[in-house]
């Protein structure tokens, strides 16, 4: 089929410059599958936005250096959420434009007024390859309209292969490849051939007598033998993506372990599970390193074939007598990626046994190595499989850069890290609590949660999260049950506790709310510690604002962190403040065991008053070695 027979593809030609305009991908009803990544982005933005909005509110009112960093960090994850949405919208409405100008291909994907371009290397093109869109041996074709879709790639002289376009019917791309080949032939000595990929057969016998361009294999011809030294393929390429998966597994396990050890949730029974996860992750990383760093040497003569495989974890030596070998060929291995077999070099014995080497190397390179070894051993190439097409990687972009780009891999890592952080946001915040608490204690006067305008008279207001006229949010509240909820505060003045006022009351409609216990505690490692005073309140005594007068009059030190806690026998509520005051809170996992309840949460409405005769200028500062101040937030 010629390009003129495909009216869907528009062609604009000006001199030697030509532009091909492709329509939206004809996906049919399966186009709706593109809504999945769009929906994922919407959920992602909603989840991350719930953390971003309170942080920006806090930043607008009380900016701190750490808050700028946290906002920028969260915005990176918001931007990462655009990637799946962009891919989904491109599948739904995107159009493709391919331009040939100045011996170079430029591919642009357009989505309305938006778009992005990819420039392929300015190098001579060796060939064009059309893959997919047909029933091939060893593959499971996709159902529906996807079964006819294919991809077009260009292979350059240095062996690098890049995807030009994908997701269009195979006849369209065949015609496009033929036209591009003719255009490239005007600038090059010969027109690049167009190969129609038909699948990876179980065994290919077509000989390759010339060393492929860009191959790092070193060939040494001796008097009675040949030596082929195959260097390592590299950690990323040689492991076929296994290294990236192993690193992500270890990062995930590391974040989980840090949250487990330092997030206030340490349970000895979980230790064996973490040991197993670390052993699996480190084992996969060791396998990936071995795959990427291994090297091989093939020595073939008239009498035998010797294979030496050396890697970071040892060396293996195999010897095959000439009479035992049936042939050496390139064929499909038992390893599959995306249900597609990966090529390897195979040594087949007369007894029927097969040995595989160099899994995942370039197929043309494998066939060249097989040709050299067969000639050195005096063996004939195996009979070629019927209708064997050119063997290529099971990706449209085969070669030195097989799948993806550095930007795509980076965004993939960012999205994965975002998922991990989202899953363990609470424990991670609990782990970072001592760091932020230390800075909060150093500068109490700048703390945005403190009221620095005490009322006249005695007792004196040293903390207040109520609004004017003692207002608070009547509809939103923290749940106060058998596990206590706690809010921290830092008094602006030293003195003896006089009065606590709280917006806490029994839940509406609860016939048996039981009693509530309110207690004031010192800070210990960022959580409530020793109790200074406690109050027992019945449901009849709580009719809105709850005022508690201190009987023990414990001394509170200005600039030192304390916790106000509440628990109940049935169900009570501690209302939020209405001043957008937010910080981290704590919850009781079990009696006396605390954990983080979240960061940048609305603070419960309450106020603290103390009795003092100190002049206003005398603000007590915490001692540098105060053990109760360690890990404050």
- Taking only the tens place, the pLDDT of each residue in 514-573 is 889 999 999 988 899 999 999 999 888 877 788 999 999 999 998 999 999 999 988 889
Residues 257 and 321 in one domain: yes
Average pLDDT rounded to a whole number, residues 330-351: 74
pLDDT: is 389 or 29 the higher one?
Answer: 29
In a domain, 609, yes or no: yes
CA–CA gap between residue 317 and residue 319 (Å, rounded): 7
pLDDT in tens, 545-554: 889 999 999 9
Contacts of residue 481, defined as CB under 8 A and 6 or more positions apart, other chains included, come to 567, 568, 570, 571, 572
Residue 263 φ/ψ region, left for φ over 0, alpha for ψ in the -120 to 50 degree band, beta for the rest: alpha
Asked if omega into 475 is within 30° of 0 (cis), the reply is no
Q: What are the residues facing 521 on neighbouring strands? A: 531, 563
Residues 443 and 586 in one domain: yes
Contacts of residue 461, defined as CB under 8 A and 6 or more positions apart, other chains included, come to 451, 453, 454, 455, 607, 608, 609
Share of the chain above pLDDT 90, in %: 12
pTM above 0.75, yes or no: no
Helix axes 242-262, 406-423, angle to 10 degrees: 30
pLDDT at position 223 is 78
CA–CA gap between residue 206 and residue 364 (Å, rounded): 10
Q: What are the residues facing 504 on neighbouring strands? A: 574
Residues 172 and 223 in one domain: no
pLDDT at 39 over 60: yes
Dihedral angle, C-alpha 222, 227, 231, 232, nearest 10 °: -170
In a domain, 72, yes or no: yes
| Strand, coil or helix: 123 | coil
In a domain, 170, yes or no: yes
| Strand, coil or helix: 454 | coil
pLDDT in tens, 421-478: 555 555 555 545 444 444 444 433 333 333 334 334 468 899 999 998 889 988 888 8
CA–CA gap between residue 270 and residue 285 (Å, rounded): 23
Asked if 517 and 566 touch (Cβ cutoff 8 Å), the reply is yes
Residues 111 and 141 in one domain: yes
Tokens of 438: 């230390």
Tell me what the pLDDT averaged over the chain comes to.
75
Q: What's the angle, vertex CA 265, arms to CA 484 and CA 54, rounded to 5?
A: 65
Residues 546 and 586 in one domain: yes
CA–CA gap between residue 378 and residue 397 (Å, rounded): 35
In a domain, 476, yes or no: yes
Number of domains the chain is built from: 3
pLDDT at position 489 is 94
In a domain, 146, yes or no: yes
Residues 230 and 358 in one domain: yes
In a domain, 417, yes or no: no
pLDDT: is 70 or 503 the higher one?
Answer: 503
| Strand, coil or helix: 125 | strand
In a domain, 203, yes or no: no
Residues 569 and 521 in one domain: yes
Share of the chain above pLDDT 70, in %: 72
Its domain, for residue 43, covers: 3-196+403-408
**Cβ–Cβ contacts within 10 Å for residue 206, how many?**
16
pLDDT in tens, 128-177: 888 776 544 444 444 455 566 788 888 887 767 788 888 888 888 888 88
pLDDT at position 65 is 67
Residues 363 and 451 in one domain: no
Residues 119 and 34 in one domain: yes
In a domain, 70, yes or no: yes
Residues 448 and 358 in one domain: no
Residues 546 and 605 in one domain: yes
339 exposure class (CB count in 10 Å sphere: 0-12, 13-18, 19+): exposed
Residues 240 and 178 in one domain: no
Q: Which of 82-91, 394-403, 604-613 shows the lowest per-residue confidence on average (mean pLDDT)?
A: 394-403
pLDDT at 403 over 60: no
pLDDT: is 100 or 456 the higher one?
Answer: 100
pLDDT at position 199 is 52
């Amino acid at each position: 089929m010629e390009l003129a027979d495909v009216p869907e593809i528009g062609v604009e030609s000006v001199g030697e410059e030509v532009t091909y305009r492709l329509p939206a991908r004809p996906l049919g009803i399966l186009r709706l599958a593109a809504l999945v990544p769009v929906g994922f982005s919407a959920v992602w933005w909603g989840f991350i936005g719930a953390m971003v909005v309170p942080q920006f509110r806090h930043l607008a009112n009380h900016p701190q250096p750490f808050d700028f960093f946290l906002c920028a960090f969260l915005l990176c994850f918001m931007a990462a959420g655009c990637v799946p949405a962009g891919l989904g919208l491109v599948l739904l409405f995107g159009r493709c434009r391919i331009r040939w100008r100045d011996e170079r291909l430029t591919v642009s994907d357009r989505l309305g007024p938006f778009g992005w371009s990819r420039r392929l290397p300015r190098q001579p093109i060796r060939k064009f390859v059309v893959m997919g869109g047909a029933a091939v041996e060893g593959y499971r074709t996709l159902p529906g309209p996807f079964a006819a879709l294919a991809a077009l790639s260009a292979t350059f002289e240095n062996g690098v292969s890049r995807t030009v376009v994908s997701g269009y019917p195979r006849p369209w791309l065949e015609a496009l490849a033929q036209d591009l080949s003719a255009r490239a032939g005007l600038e090059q000595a010969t027109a690049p051939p167009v190969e129609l990929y038909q699948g990876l057969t179980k065994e290919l016998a077509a000989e390759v007598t010339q060393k492929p361009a860009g191959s790092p294999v070193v060939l040494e011809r001796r008097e009675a033998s040949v030596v082929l030294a195959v260097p390592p393929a590299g950690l990323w390429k040689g492991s076929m993506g296994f290294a990236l998966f192993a690193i992500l597994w270890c990062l995930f396990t590391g974040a989980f372990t840090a949250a487990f050890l330092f997030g206030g949730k340490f349970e000895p029974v979980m230790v064996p599970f973490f040991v197993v996860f670390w052993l699996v992750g480190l084992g996969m990383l060791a396998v990936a390193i071995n795959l990427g760093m291994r090297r091989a040497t093939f020595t073939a003569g008239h009498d035998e074939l010797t294979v030496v495989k050396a890697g970071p974890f040892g060396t293996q030596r195999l010897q095959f007598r000439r009479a035992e070998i049936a042939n050496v060929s390139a064929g499909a291995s038992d390893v599959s990626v995306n249900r597609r077999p990966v090529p390897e070099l195979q040594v087949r014995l007369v007894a029927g046994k097969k040995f595989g080497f160099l899994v995942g190397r370039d197929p043309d390179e494998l066939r060249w190595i097989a040709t050299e070894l067969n000639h050195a051993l005096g063996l004939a190439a195996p009979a070629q499989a019927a209708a064997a097409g050119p063997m290529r990687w099971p990706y449209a972009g085969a070669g030195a850069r097989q799948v993806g780009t550095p930007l795509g891999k980076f965004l993939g890592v960012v999205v994965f890290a975002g998922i991990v952080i989202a899953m363990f946001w609470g424990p991670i915040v609990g782990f970072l609590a001592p760091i932020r608490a230390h800075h909060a204690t150093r500068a109490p006067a700048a703390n945005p949660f403190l009221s620095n305008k005490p009322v006249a008279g005695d007792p004196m207001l040293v903390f207040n999260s109520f609004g004017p006229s003692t207002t608070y949010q009547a509809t939103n509240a923290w749940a106060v049950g058998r596990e206590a909820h706690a809010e921290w505060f830092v008094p602006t003045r030293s003195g003896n506790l006089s009065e606590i006022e709280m917006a806490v009351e029994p839940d509406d409609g609860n016939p048996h709310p039981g009693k509530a216990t309110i207690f004031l505690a010192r800070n210990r490692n960022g959580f409530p510690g020793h109790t200074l005073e406690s109050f027992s309140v019945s449901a009849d005594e709580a009719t809105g604002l709850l005022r508690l007068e201190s009987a023990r009059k414990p001394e509170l030190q200005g600039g030192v962190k304390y916790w106000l806690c509440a628990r109940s026998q049935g169900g009570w509520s501690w209302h939020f403040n209405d001043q957008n005051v937010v910080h981290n809170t704590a919850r009781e996992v079990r009696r006396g065991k605390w954990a983080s309840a979240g960061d940048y949460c609305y603070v419960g409405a309450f106020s603290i008053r103390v009795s003092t005769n100190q002049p206003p200028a005398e603000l007590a500062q915490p001692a540098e070695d105060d053990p109760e101040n360690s890990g404050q937030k």
